[in-house]
Amino acid sequence: DITPLSISLSPCINPKMAELGAGSLLLGDPAFNYQEAELNERLKRLYPAVNEDETPLPRSWSPKDKYSYIGLSQNNLRVHYKGHGKNHKDAASVRATHPIPAACGIYYFEVKIVSKGLDFLSSLLPLSPIPGWDKHSYGYHGDDGHSFCSSGTGQPYGPTFTTGDVIGCCVNLINNTCFYTKNGISLGVAFTDLPPNLYPTVGLQTPGEIVDANFGQQPFVFDIEDYMSEWRAKIHGMIARFPIGERLGEWQAVLQNMVSTYLVHHGYCATATAFARATETLIQEDQTSIKNRQRIQKLVLAGRVGEAIEATQQLYPGLLEHNPNLLFMLKCRQFVEMVNGTDSEVRCFSVRSPKSQDSYPGSPSLSPRHGATNPNLHSAGADSPTCSNGVTPPNKNKSHNKYPGVSSASSSSSSSPSSVNYSESNSTDSTKSQPHSGTSNQEETSDSEMEIEAEHYTNGVAENPSARIMNGTYKHQEILQAQDISLGNGVAGTDDSCASRQLCGGNQAATERMIQFGRELQGLNEQLCREYGKNVTHKKMLQDAFSLLAYSDPWNCPVGQQLDPMQRENICSALNSAILESQNLPKQPPLMLALGQATECVQLMARVRSGSCSFARVDNFLH
Amino acid sequence: MACLLEAPLRISVLSEVTATSRHYVDRLFDPDPQKVLQGVIDMKNAVIGNNKQKANLIVLGAVPRLLYLLQQGSSSSELRAECAVVLGSLAMGTENNIKSLVDCHIIPALLQGLLCPDLIFIEACLRCLRTVFISPVTPVQLLYTDPTVIPHLMSLLSRSQRTQEYITQIFSHCCKTPEHQTVLFNHGAIQNIAPLLISPSYKVRMQALKCFSVLAYENTQVSMTLVNVLVDEELLSQVFVRMMQRDQPIDMQLTAAKCLTYMCRAGAIRTDDSCIVLKTLPCLVRMCSKERLLEERVEGAETLAYLMEPDVELQRIASVTDHLVAMLADYFKYPSSVSAITDIKRLDHDLKHAHELRQAAFKLYASLGSNDEDIRKKITETENMMDRIVSGLSESSVKVRLAAVRCLHSLSRSVQQLRTSFHDHAVWKPLMKLLQNAPDEVLVMASSTLCNLLLEFSPSKEPILESGVIELLCSLTQSDSPALRVNGIWALMNMAFQADQKVKGEIVRALGTEQLFRLLSDPDSNVLMKTLGLLRNLLSTRPHIDQVMSSHGKQIMQAVTLILEGEHSIEVKEQTLCILANIADGNTAKELIMTNDDILQKIKYYMAHSNVKLQLAATFCISNLIWNEEDGSQERQDKLRELGFVDILHKLTQASDPNLCDRSDTATHTSDLSPAFLQILSSIDRQTGTNTCTLIVL
């Protein structure tokens, strides 16, 4: 319904989504930009659960969905009436650009009556509305204070309103009710059983009538956040008091089991054992199995994928054979790690340390990640470079350096970068108190070779301004002994700040091995294609991996993201899950399943228009 | 001691049970202090949650012994603390337990114990004191007998969260009078308790808040101080606003709203302050909603009624907030028919609160409708509203009757309602019944309402008159309460307005001249004003004037002289001069003035008075005297000219007040015998020849 001055909600027969916000024309106006930023911030705070990609919030009146008698100005926030207003046929209305998303939970907008106009029209109804607009509209009229719902006959509702009044409309999408406010005072429920997808709407019928909308551009007169806080508390109370029924007694056991399985899944062996002891629960998997998984995970996370594959094949024969996709993923990663210089095949292809299989003490200290990024992990790595590991600070390395001249040259980025590598790795050696004559010899030779290779393959590596340490030159034994520390500190040596990084650790033989491995990988891909048909994912993976070689500085190239140690985590958990599955254990810990399910459930609630999702967000409960 | 004296009576009943209990008491007398301590600890474990055991131990005289041990300097601090804990536990029992404890002088003993430095002991004493003081059977005055107690309690506030909680709880329960408020205020209650509002402990915050609500209630001094208090660099009113946020516990929201309400009523916060309009008022309206507990709804409605009582703007806002008027209708639906059938426990609960709910709703309606005609209309249009008031007037609970009549009184200020709903529902009937036998406070309200029902335009006036109300009203004028005397005479005044001779005669007869003249010397100026108003109404229309004056002329003239000579307000004198003017309008009554030179001099004096109202009334009087169509007007005019009235009238024509000029012109021209002009003026004078007085009781 549209009568003289009504604030209402209207549904739409043909919702026109994807309309541009009003502000797009006026981006140059700094005041407007400021207002826009403030609006965005306020909307984000009011409606955190709304995904604006799916369901945009109303931000202005729609210049398309309006009567011709309606004029818009001031970024489509001001509405004025420009008809003659002689009879009810001249009534006109305009609605907002978008319907109110259910995920708002509670939605609110205000309209300020700038001018009531020449009030020569008294109440007139029913109106002749534009087709499709009157059905199921819900309004509050200024002239008589009546509320109008669909039918067109008014009900006494609230006071009348006029020039200077601020009228607010709050839609509660949890219980599907609506109330209006006048100058910050709630007038009480106007409508119940509201349908979904309503648009904020305003109707005018008097010449000179002007109203300004506030969709969040300015602070509201009514304290809507206080109202929201009540509903948040209500929903949280509802969740807290949700009846659990006869399973009540098992509640503690369920929780303990969740914690225990989570610890076991990620291989926190010692913690899991201690927890099981304290809670007198049983761990399903046996100790050796957990430790094996733990060891394989550590290898993957350390970038030593080749060894991880080897260990998996040895401990879980047939596993990778039955999972060719997983194997291919692992091999691709191995190739990436070769480029990185972390894989043992390029680090030390002559040495095979049998000890590596039984000398992993403790549990991995790298915490598993749940999201796409983990700033903690990142910063931990940055804070503690390899060489330090809490033992020696980087500047001290220089004094231990066997080649001080080269080292200083590297810092000016003009000489062979590989020498830096040596100096760093040597100093690292010395910090581990493992003087190893063989190491320096071998590296010395590789140094000269690398200079040629570097020129040959990746010209400009030397000019790489960002010096990085490579941990690629670690000896196997060193790793094993320094296991806890080096793994713990964010996988030793992929650090941004210390020395320059080089392809395959700057080793020519290693580079050759890498090239060869690349060919094998290509072969594997072709073989898989023959056996299982074309696989787009594989092709993409392979392409991305090989692309690394096309850049002079693979770490700073469009596909350089692959070299980030954090990329190991996905494959690591995939491998872990595969192993667990092969042992007839759940491939996901129940805790993560529950979390994922809850998150998904809340998102689903938004899609099926259950407003309470706004106040039942999972992150409210994660601290 | 009382507790010991009771013992023999109960021993036969308790003989078996007491055997075990006696053992506990006996152990308190053991010579070995360690065994005594163990005995007290065992006793503590035995009484927890066991009311029977508590009663037994009290009967067996455990209390004096425990108090002795507690007070004994030689007792170990552990023993003393355990004794206090056991006493606290005993106090948790029935009201009889508390009485016994108080009779054993537990309060001074525990207050004395607070001087000990040991915190655990202090906390145990405070906990016990708290339990004793929050009981309705404990005389709160016991807290104030020793003047050192309050300052010491203030100093203990800094000791721990427990001391804070217990002490503030004691204060909020023991602050019942303005004197108590002053004592606490003078000992720095505000400065000491304000920081507790942001305590990490909810209990402490809550008790501190309650303290402020009782301190600020009807206390300007406290309220004015509170508005300027800062807590952690935040104004106290803002702290209260935060406590009213909707996600806070209801108890906290409600108590914070009370604090702000009391501060506002005491004038410390303006009624248009946003913290009142946008926060306190909506919060109190929310407390009236169906979702709240019955107790909260009662408190919310009463506080809201109090908040907006003097302010029409707040009444207007409340009347549109969250459908309050309709929401209140629900207060009358207890016990609901559903609860009666399904749930006995709920029925009991409903019944207990039904009276409270009804009286709270009536109070709130009364407050809502006290000024605005539209709101009154809205209230009377609420479902069954008038029926509810009518039945409320005859409820057994005095509180409900009082609230119902207050509500009726508030609505009776509406001319429209008097003409319609009041008459349709014959509210005068239960009202009259209520007036027969009711406590004074109900009588005051009921008689006020009756005053309005007796207004000339009220259709209820006739049936009320027929019901023999005059005797009742006359008896009210003899009441000791000035409010009742005012209402009695006020109602008579309204009744006499434009009444026929029979009614007037009846009033004079029933009241008796003696009483009438006693009222003219009443110490309450309101009573005097209304009595004069009654006289004025009695002395209207010429035959009535002559009749009344012929029988009571002498006394009336005497009373008038006395009042004009006495120290009275302008309003009283004006009213008296108006009576003279009415007398001057009589045929024979005129002579009472013309033959009284003293009165004529007085009239002359007031014609030259600095106050225009008095000049006007005096001139009016003269104008009636020289009215020239009547017999003997020439003689009167001559006499008045002799007395110098004409000169004064001429002077008055130059006066600035147009109203006065007009009047004085009339008088001057009349005396100049200008017949044509007089004819025009005669019509004016007919209208104003006698004037009467009615007022709606506000």
The per-residue pLDDT for range B530-546, each reduced to its tens digit, is: 888 888 888 887 778 88
DSSP-derived 3-state class of residue A80: strand
The yes-or-no verdict on residue B663 having pLDDT over 60 is no
pLDDT in tens, B326-372: 999 999 988 776 655 667 777 777 888 899 999 999 999 999 999 99
Spatial CA neighbour of B504 closest among B470, B479, B475: B470
pLDDT in tens, A112-150: 999 886 543 332 233 334 333 455 678 888 888 888 876
Contact B130, B170 (CB under 8 A): yes
Q: Judge: A188–B277 Cβ closer than 8 Å, yes or no.
A: no
Range of lowest pLDDT (A336-340, B662-666, B693-697):
B693-697
Q: Judge: B245–A158 Cβ closer than 8 Å, yes or no.
A: no
CA B183 to chain centre: 24
pLDDT of residue A348: 61
Residues in chain A with CB shorter than 8 Å from the CB of B277 are: 184-185
* Count of CB pairs separated by less than 8 Å, A with B: 40
Spatial CA neighbour of B428 closest among B451, B410, B444: B451
Q: Which residues contact B504 (CB under 8 A, 6 or more apart)?
A: B496, B538, B544, B548
Spatial CA neighbour of B578 closest among B605, B566, B565, B560: B560
pLDDT of residue A83: 78
Chain B nearest C-alpha distance from A187 (Å): 5
**The tokens of A321 are what?**
């054979």
**The tokens of B440 are what?**
């004074």
> Does B320 lie at the interface with A, CB-CB under 8 angstroms?
yes
pLDDT of residue A136: 67
Q: Judge: A184–B278 Cβ closer than 8 Å, yes or no.
A: yes
pLDDT in tens, B451-471: 888 887 788 888 888 888 888
Residues in chain A with CB shorter than 8 Å from the CB of B274 are: 184
In this structure, the number of other CB atoms found within 10 A of the CB of residue A523 comes to 10
The yes-or-no verdict on residue A406 having pLDDT over 60 is no
Spatial CA neighbour of A498 closest among A566, A397, A579, A353: A397
Residues in chain A with CB shorter than 8 Å from the CB of B282 are: 185-186
In this structure, the number of other CB atoms found within 10 A of the CB of residue A470 comes to 30
Nearest to B246 among A158, A184, A226 (CB): A226
Rounded Cα distance between B123 and B128, Å, is: 9
Rounded Cα distance between B695 and B691, Å, is: 13
- Give the strand order in the sheet containing A106-115: A70-73, A78-81, A210-214, A106-115, A166-172, A177-182, A185-191
Chain A nearest C-alpha distance from B260 (Å): 18
Question: What residue of A is the nearest CA neighbor of B276?
Answer: A185
Question: What residue of A is the nearest CA neighbor of B289?
Answer: A188
Could you report the predicted ipTM of this complex, rounded to two decimals?
Answer: 0.79
Give backbone dihedrals phi and psi of B291, rounded to 5 degrees, phi first.
-70, -20
Rounded Cα distance between B615 and B651, Å, is: 12
CA distances from A190 to A139, A609, B79, B377 (A): 9, 21, 65, 21
pLDDT of residue B156: 95
- End-to-end CA distance of chain B: give it in Å, rounded: 56
Residues in chain B with CB shorter than 8 Å from the CB of A189 are: 323
Q: Judge: A186–B282 Cβ closer than 8 Å, yes or no.
A: yes
pLDDT of residue B271: 95
Mean pLDDT (chain B) is 85
DSSP-derived 3-state class of residue A553: coil
Which of A178, A230, A238, A620 to mutate against chain B (most B CBs within 10 Å)? A230
CA distances from B173 to A40, B88, B129, B181, B207 (A): 50, 17, 11, 12, 10
Beta-strand pair A199-204/A92-96? antiparallel
Rounded Cα distance between B287 and B357, Å, is: 13
Q: What percent of chain B has pLDDT over 90?
A: 44
> Does B329 lie at the interface with A, CB-CB under 8 angstroms?
no
pLDDT in tens, B370-419: 999 999 999 988 888 889 998 999 888 889 999 999 999 999 888 888 88
Q: How confident is the model at residue A481 (pLDDT cuts 50, 70, 90)?
A: very low
> Does B282 lie at the interface with A, CB-CB under 8 angstroms?
yes
Q: Judge: A229–B246 Cβ closer than 8 Å, yes or no.
A: yes
Q: Is the pTM of this model over 0.80?
A: no
pLDDT in tens, A436-463: 444 344 444 344 344 333 333 333 333 4
Which of A147, A226, A231 to mutate against chain B (most B CBs within 10 Å)? A226
Mean pLDDT (chain A) is 71
- For the segment B105-115, the average pLDDT, to the nearest whole number, is 94
Chain A nearest C-alpha distance from B287 (Å): 13
Residue type present at position A52: E
- Enter the DSSP assignment of A50: -
DSSP-derived 3-state class of residue B308: helix
The yes-or-no verdict on residue B502 having pLDDT over 90 is no
pLDDT of residue B231: 93
DSSP-derived 3-state class of residue A172: strand
Residues in chain B with CB shorter than 8 Å from the CB of A187 are: 320-323
The DSSP-derived string for B521-550 is T-SSHHHHHHHHHHHHHHT-SHHHHHHHHH
Burial class (CB in 10 A: 0-12, 13-18, 19+), B683: exposed
pLDDT in tens, A586-618: 878 888 888 888 888 888 887 777 788 888 877
pLDDT of residue A118: 56
Q: Judge: B323–A188 Cβ closer than 8 Å, yes or no.
A: yes
Residues in chain B with CB shorter than 8 Å from the CB of A182 are: 320
Chain B nearest C-alpha distance from A180 (Å): 9
pLDDT of residue A248: 59
pLDDT in tens, B599-633: 888 888 888 788 878 877 888 787 777 766 667 77
Q: Judge: A233–B246 Cβ closer than 8 Å, yes or no.
A: yes
Q: Judge: A182–B282 Cβ closer than 8 Å, yes or no.
A: no
Chain B nearest C-alpha distance from A185 (Å): 6
**The tokens of B506 are what?**
């009846």
CA A30 to chain centre: 31
